[in-house]
Chain A
Amino acid sequence: RKEVEQDPGPFNVPEGATVAFNCTYSNSASQSFFWYRQDCRKEPKLLMSVYSSGNEDGRFTAQLNRASQYISLLIRDSKLSDSATYLCVWYSGGGADGLTFGKGTHLIIQP
């Protein structure tokens, strides 16, 4: 079983809609979680960290559910510029390996 699983999509969503997607993880030792965004043929960029209490950054809300081992990302009032692949990422800490990336969820915002 892969350590991080995401629905690859694509999710086709009309502009202005709210969209949410989840990511499940299998390693209960995972300490930190992040959402990265990757535009087509570009490098990944950190979108936001994910905290157990939930955190919000403008139109974006991230949530962590340790009991069910998933994290979520919700985008409100979606814009055309939100079209990208969203990567679920976890880090186990301890200074060992790098980050573990999911395959990503492809989001297409349609006018």
Chain B
Amino acid sequence: EADIYQTPRYLVIGTGKKITLECSQTMGHDKMYWYQQDPGMELHLIHYSYGVNSTEKGDLSSESTVSRIRTEHFPLTLESARPSHTSQYLCASSEYQIEGKAFFGQGTRLTVV
């Protein structure tokens, strides 16, 4: 089993609130990712990181931000949640030399009302 954890699993929050989705992995992986997935749709990369102090935007524009202060931790923040942010957010990690083999957390299902 993969040692990558996301909290919370489910979140219902009002418009305008600031939220942080947590992601932690204990595998020592350098690369970490955030994907967004709507029901029945493909995953879209929104952020990734090569390692500590490295963050990059993915191919899907997102109003969220990320930070990578520690190898094991890659939180995603929305400063002001909107209903259009309602989606599932999946965190993943991989070893730098085996980047195609990613391990996913169980996801956070976010609903903004």
Contact = CB atoms under 8 A, between A and B. Distances in A.
Nearest to A102: B42
Q: Chain B contact residues (Cβ within 8 angstroms of A): what range? A: 20 to 34
Contacts, number: 54
Contact of A97 (B41, B48, B101): B48
Interface stretch (B13-21, B64-72, B73-81, B103-111): B103-111
Interface in A5-57: 32-34, 42-46, 49
Interface residues of A, number: 21
Contacts of A89: 100
B106 A43 contact: yes
Given A91-B100, A98-B45, A43 B105 contact: yes
Contacts of B104: 43-45
B42 A99 contact: no
B42 to A, nearest CB: 4
A29 to B, nearest CB: 14
A95 B33 contact: no
A37 to B, nearest CB: 11
A101 interface: yes
Interface of A: 32-34, 42-46, 49, 87, 89, 91, 93, 95, 97-99, 101-104
